[in-house]
Amino acid sequence: MRSLKQNILAGLLSGLSLVAATAVAAEEKIKIVASFSILGDMVEQVIGEHASVTTIVGPDADAHIYQPSLADARSVADADVIFVNGLGFETWSDTLIAESGTKATVHIATDGITPVLVDAEVDPHAWNSLLNGVVYVTNIADVLKQKLPEHANDIDANTSAYIAKLNALDAKTKAALAELGDDKRTVVTAHDAFGYLADAYGMNFLAPGGIDSEAEPSAQELAQLKQDGAAALFVENIASPALVQQISDETGLEIGGRLFSDALSERDGPATSYLAMFEHNLGTLLEALK
Ligand SMILES: [Zn+2]
């Protein structure tokens, strides 16, 4: 029989080794930083539990005008892999990455996507077409399989299952929006975030606020909206509803609901993932335009 002292010692040692094992496991997980919430969700869908994923611009926040915090600089400095949208979306990311001194590799999720131009400016909101979403996810998976070849099978399985869902929702969106009459295809949002959705699904989005969510519309632009045959008006989760309310007051167009353009919702909201966000936007459009 072991003495009490031996038992305490054994307990202590197994406790210590448990702490050590946990520390090693935590250290072994690579650290991925994604620049904004929609991209962070895509990365999580691809990698599952095999990495820790940190997102810089969180739910309901505007990445165009984001100002990184000290905590962001620390996350970037500690990261092994960084994913950004690119196409000029994150105006702050190059400086943040350079000044953090990070050794992480930086990857542009929109690589291979043909950009849409709005008034000669590149539209960065490429995720608002689901087939572009498939390109993002494929790019993310390619990078992560190189970084974590030991998890390549899991990454492949996660990626195929996820892409199947994106393709299914793409087909559903095309079929649903094809039913709309021609007088129901033009809608107004505060900023120009849905050019890719418009192109992919035969819609026309007007945005007096321009592409980067900062500009204010002129009276002339407001008058033009009615002439252009706008059928509904939508507020966005990342922007104050004041501008859209003003447009509604001045044009008599009704506000048809809230679209999630550049960020997911908070955890209790309707758009906690890229898929849920797209599904919510589709439902909101159809409800207002039917
Ligand atoms: Zn935007």
5-20, pLDDT tens digit by residue?
566 555 555 555 555 5
Please give the single-letter amino acid code of residue 56: I
Output the CA 12–ligand 1 centroid distance in Å.
55
Output the CA 238–ligand 1 centroid distance in Å.
8
DSSP H helices, 2-36, are: 4-28
Output the CA 191–ligand 1 centroid distance in Å.
7
Output the CA 195–ligand 1 centroid distance in Å.
10
Output the CA 267–ligand 1 centroid distance in Å.
21
Closest by CA to 206, choosing from 176, 186, 220, is 186
Asked whether the predicted pLDDT for residue 239 surpasses 90, the reply is no
Asked whether the predicted pLDDT for residue 277 surpasses 90, the reply is yes
Please give the single-letter amino acid code of residue 208: P
DSSP state, 253? P
pTM: 0.88
Output the CA 192–ligand 1 centroid distance in Å.
7
Output the CA 261–ligand 1 centroid distance in Å.
7
Q: Which tokens go with 199?
A: 């192109």
Residues 33/104, Cβ–Cβ less than 8 Å: yes
Average pLDDT, the chain: 90
Asked whether the predicted pLDDT for residue 262 surpasses 60, the reply is yes
Output the CA 277–ligand 1 centroid distance in Å.
15
pLDDT at 209: 67
Closest by CA to 141, choosing from 125, 123, 163, 120, is 163
Output the CA 259–ligand 1 centroid distance in Å.
12
Please tell me whether residue 122 adopts helix, strand or coil conformation: strand
pLDDT at 211: 64
Average pLDDT estimate for 119-139: 96
Output the CA 4–ligand 1 centroid distance in Å.
66
Output the CA 159–ligand 1 centroid distance in Å.
26
Confidence of residue 216 (pLDDT cuts 50, 70, 90): low
Which residues are CB-contacts of 157 (< 8 A; sequence separation ≥ 6)?
none
Output the CA 7–ligand 1 centroid distance in Å.
62
95-111 residue pLDDT tens:
999 999 999 999 999 99
CB atoms within 5 A of ion ligand 1 belong to: 193, 262
Output the CA 174–ligand 1 centroid distance in Å.
23
